[in-house]
A = this chain, B = another copy of it.
């Protein structure tokens, strides 16, 4: 298979869009998840660089939720990469089982992982060279500052150290950096100038698309920007995805 980053870059160019559409069924009973997602995928696919189901919103329904995930994945056109947002992270042999689940059983193109357990715990994901691995670096929730912005003895913050360290773990590494902290996003970009970034937090969480591109860059392959609730709950989902695409494309970016 073509490496994930190449597939993602081709798709970004094909639709001229950095938009990642989140597939996070919230506030719905499980029996409505499949029709809801099918409609959302159909409406937004023309503007979607990729789709990102957050596994929690399927797991919350138990096995019927995972059946809905199965049907959701089947509804996504083959040429659109799909990111499993599960933020898994554990001992190496456990991580290997998670990687097997996400990449072999479910067939995801990429996954988000939590780096707290270090490189050996991330390696089983990275070993799938044709898949992408987005390492959590600076998340978009207010409480993330407690540990992620903690100052180290070296003078760096923890998220800066994660960016610098994890970006060297392999060609298929990306970083997750929230749109709600544009200064941190620019800092990560400076530390990892060629690493692909997955940026959640525009839309309901309040991150500004223009600030995201100004900080993260606009070269295809360098960044995708996720919106979930702001697209899924819009009266016109296609228009919401298109408007986000246009807002991201309106910004020019000067490489750091």
Contact = CB atoms under 8 A, between A and B. Distances in A.
A110 interface: no
A6 interface: no
Interface in A130-152: 136, 139-148, 150-152
Given A92-B141, A115-B147, A98 B59 contact: yes
Nearest to A123: B143
A66 interface: yes
A233 interface: no
A165 B146 contact: yes
Interface stretch (A82-90, A182-190, A208-216, A217-225): A82-90
A173 interface: no
Contacts of A147: 115-116, 118, 158, 161-162, 165
Contacts of A154: 151
A60 B144 contact: no
A61 B105 contact: yes
A88 B116 CA distance: 12
Given A60-B101, A61-B105, A91-B141, A116 B148 contact: yes
Identical copies of this chain, number: 2
Contact of A146 (B70, B90, B119, B151): B119
A92 B54 CA distance: 13
Contacts of A93: 26
Contact of A151 (B90, B101, B153): B153
A53 to B, nearest CB: 12
A94 interface: yes
A151 B145 CA distance: 17
Interface in A99-138: 100-101, 105-106, 114-121, 136
B141 A106 contact: no
Contact of A62 (B56, B62, B105, B115): B105
Contacts of A51: none
Nearest to A140: B91
A106 B62 contact: yes
Interface of A: 24, 26, 54, 56-57, 59-63, 66-67, 70, 87-95, 97-98, 100-101, 105-106, 114-121, 136, 139-148, 150-155, 158, 161-162, 165
